Structure 1
Amino acid sequence: MFAESVVRVGVEPDVELFVAETAGPVERTLLVIHGGPDWDHSYLREPLAELAGGHRVLLPDLRGCGRSTRGLPEHEYQWDAVVRDLLALLTAKKVETADVLGFSTGGRIAQRLALAAPHRVRRLVVASSSMLPVPPDAFAGWAERDLRQAQGAELGPDPAGFTGPELVRAWALAAAPASVWRREVLPEYLRRLDAVRFSAEWLRPWQAGRLPNALPDDAVARFAELALPVLLLHGRADMTFPASLAETAAEQLGSARAVVLDEAGHMAHVDQPDRWLSALTRFLA
């Protein structure tokens, strides 16, 4: 279903992105930006593989992630550098204008890309992410979230015992019960986590306090001026980015709509794959 390749997108330093790609018309390209950022793209392959043929889906690993270039100097891990990589990838793939889907942290990178090069973006999907800052008390009093976080601490190894990629993996395992809402899909989600090639390249500048928030400043106001079609695709029980922020952003943006799926958490595409994909395909039509 996916062809795999490595595409050079930068020189000085040399940066190559590992890319999984489906067959499909170039004019219907969907660029998908994974979250983490120290994850890879693989946990998003399903259900996006079902778009093959009607859409050309590009799933790159970001710099420092998965099978893309690692070992760059710390100052090379910046959001604007990722945007440059992705625009260079589109150019290398001969894509003038693409639909762009960003998931979680990738949703904020996608916003940066659309603001930097709006002429390269036809439609924008912000999935399980936010165009507004998350208030510090956003989840106060949510007992179920507290319970699931406690369960996560028992699910995997203690993150305190690890460093590097194994620390990032341990964090992902600890967050798993709070990442999906439907408990019956937890084994499937854990299977996906087992396949992720975690890194810790972005962890270095983050721990040093040199990595700014990925969310662009004044994102909602700036997108209101662009009038770019935006879909905010979210799970009602998202315990990372509150669903209410997606609805609020949609109210403030005349060109945006929010689709909030019940019985779905942060990994809404795992909780409700059919409904998630249906909302996406309707928007991209």
Structure 2
Amino acid sequence: MDLLPGVSSATIDTDRLRTHYLESGPTDAPVIVMVHGNLSTGRFYEHLMPALPEYRVLAPDMRGFGRSEPAPIDATRGLDDWADDLDAFLRALGITAPTHLVGWSTAGAAIARYATARPAASLTFVDPVSPHGFGGTFPDGTLCFPDAAGSGGGGANPELVQRLRDGDRGTDSPFSIRNVMRGLYWAPEHTEAREDVLVDEVLLTLVGDGGYPGDSTASQNWPGLAPGVTGILNALSPKYCDWTGLVDVAEKPPVLWTHGGRDLVVADGSMLEFGTLGEAGIVPGWPGADVYPPQPMVGQIRALLERYAEAGGSVRTEIFPDSGHGPHLDAVDRWLTVFRDFLAGR
């Protein structure tokens, strides 16, 4: 790989799986671990690493993605596979002190689950998945249907899945990963200088039942599908994904929540969520808002972090009004300033 100056690449065997990662900074410096989200890898943080020279920054490729061992995800554990993999990764490196954890999107749940069971120096959420998972919940997190219908692997677009399988790097379909990134990962007017690199990284995804999107089951409830038991989208289902327990942690790490104001993925009214699609008439047969409302994802995050603060935790919130799903990508300078100030206690 042709990496940025100051960034190196390595692979380490842990007691769970062989993990590939990027690293920068002095080995004796305070540690930051940056955990990527769904359909991405550690290289989605590479551009940030040289700007943090006083820290040891690690960016692993998580299970199912990048150059790490292609191991399946047990979705019935939510994001605990990722949390346990992260723990194994740090132990393999001999890192025992609490680290600063950054989690983008899916990884927000992973770092929260990690911190529920283990000490952390701080938690930085970047447009995290709702603490109640993705899809099919009322505002309070209660499931719309007991089987979590409308969430999980069956909700993936089949053309996107096939184009990932085919290694499509083009732009002739809205479901090519290049166009998906342009439309969802960052603001539409942002031009990503490393787009080719990031496309190639996503195309390393483990595609199938154990990876992306995961398996699915039929449901008698609208919209006719329910989560399976393997793969990343099922791990994000509210049937399994739950990081509300963060509120009950005795030693609460300080929290920074950064979120793009124009995020279309994790949003109140996300167009990737069946409640919103049903209300808009895009998916027929919607049973109505009293049965299956659009999921207020940002509101759910805010409510959980308010409870965290009321329980004694420190929470800083920064909304990036012009950013999409990745303010660390389309508002790099401001995001780094906010992050550095947070780490410094300012």
TM-score when normalising by structure 1: 0.77
Deviations 1:114-169 (A, max 9, x none): 1122x2x111111111343356599xxxxxxxxxxxxxxxxxxx637536363799
CA distance in 2, matches of 1:77, 1:5: 30
CA distance in 2, matches of 1:74, 1:87: 16
Aligned partner of 1:31 in structure 2 is: 33
Deviation of the 1:249 alpha carbon? 3.3
Aligned partner letter, 1:51: L
Where do residues 216-255 of structure 1 align in structure 2 (5 Å cutoff)? 219-226=243-250, 227-242=252-267, 243-254=298-309, 255=313
- The number of residue pairs the alignment matches comes to 259
CA distance in 2, matches of 1:40, 1:221: 27
Q: 1:124 and 2:123 equivalent?
A: yes
CA distance in 2, matches of 1:33, 1:92: 17
Aligned partner of 1:210 in structure 2 is: 229
Q: Is the 8 A contact 1:48 1:277 kept in 2?
A: no
Where do residues 134-283 of structure 1 align in structure 2 (5 Å cutoff)? 159=160, 162=163, 164=165, 166=167, 170=175, 172-180=177-185, 182-188=187-193, 190-201=195-206, 203-205=208-210, 206-208=214-216, 209-211=228-230, 212-214=234-236, 219-226=243-250, 227-242=252-267, 243-254=298-309, 255=313, 256-283=315-342
Larger Rg: 2
Deviation of the 1:61 alpha carbon? 0.8
User: Which SS does the other structure have where 1:228 is aligned?
Assistant: coil
CA distance in 1, matches of 2:23, 2:12: 12
CA distance in 2, matches of 1:202, 1:116: 30
Aligned partner of 2:274 in structure 1 is: none
Aligned partner letter, 1:184: E
Deviation of the 1:274 alpha carbon? 0.7
Aligned partner letter, 2:201: V
Q: Is the 8 A contact 1:165 1:200 kept in 2?
A: no
Quick check: 164-173 or 23-32, which moved more? Answer: 164-173
Q: Is the 8 A contact 2:247 2:304 kept in 1?
A: no
Quick check: 163-172 or 195-204, which moved more? Answer: 163-172
Aligned partner letter, 1:240: V
Kindly report the root-mean-square deviation, in angstroms, between the aligned alpha carbons of the 2 structures.
Answer: 3.2
Aligned partner letter, 2:308: L
Q: Is the 8 A contact 2:186 2:329 kept in 1?
A: no
Q: Is the 8 A contact 1:16 1:63 kept in 2?
A: no
CA distance in 2, matches of 1:116, 1:39: 25
Aligned partner of 2:18 in structure 1 is: 16
Aligned partner letter, 2:328: H
Q: Is the 8 A contact 1:122 1:228 kept in 2?
A: yes
User: Which SS does the other structure have where 1:162 is aligned?
Assistant: helix
CA distance in 1, matches of 2:324, 2:32: 23
Aligned partner letter, 2:320: L
Deviation of the 1:278 alpha carbon? 1.0
Deviation of the 1:3 alpha carbon? 1.7
- Residues 84 and 221 from structure 1, CA distance in 2 versus in 1: closer, same or farther, beyond 3 angstroms? closer
Aligned partner letter, 2:93: K
- Residues 106 and 268 from structure 1, CA distance in 2 versus in 1: closer, same or farther, beyond 3 angstroms? same
Larger % of helix: which?
Answer: 1
Deviations 1:179-209 (A, max 9, x none): 2554332343633433415334364131342
CA distance in 2, matches of 1:64, 1:135: 21
Aligned partner of 2:145 in structure 1 is: none
CA distance in 1, matches of 2:30, 2:161: 45
TM-score when normalising by structure 2: 0.65
Aligned partner of 1:49 in structure 2 is: 50
Which stretches in structure 2 are left out of the alignment for 5+ residues? Answer: 1-5, 139-158, 217-227, 268-297
Aligned partner of 1:152 in structure 2 is: none
Aligned partner letter, 1:114: A
- Residues 80 and 28 from structure 1, CA distance in 2 versus in 1: closer, same or farther, beyond 3 angstroms? same
Deviation of the 1:77 alpha carbon? 10
Deviation of the 1:176 alpha carbon? 2.5
Q: Is the 8 A contact 1:30 1:98 kept in 2?
A: yes
Q: Is the 8 A contact 2:63 2:82 kept in 1?
A: yes
Aligned partner letter, 1:194: V
Q: Is the 8 A contact 2:247 2:307 kept in 1?
A: no
User: Which SS does the other structure have where 1:159 is aligned?
Assistant: helix
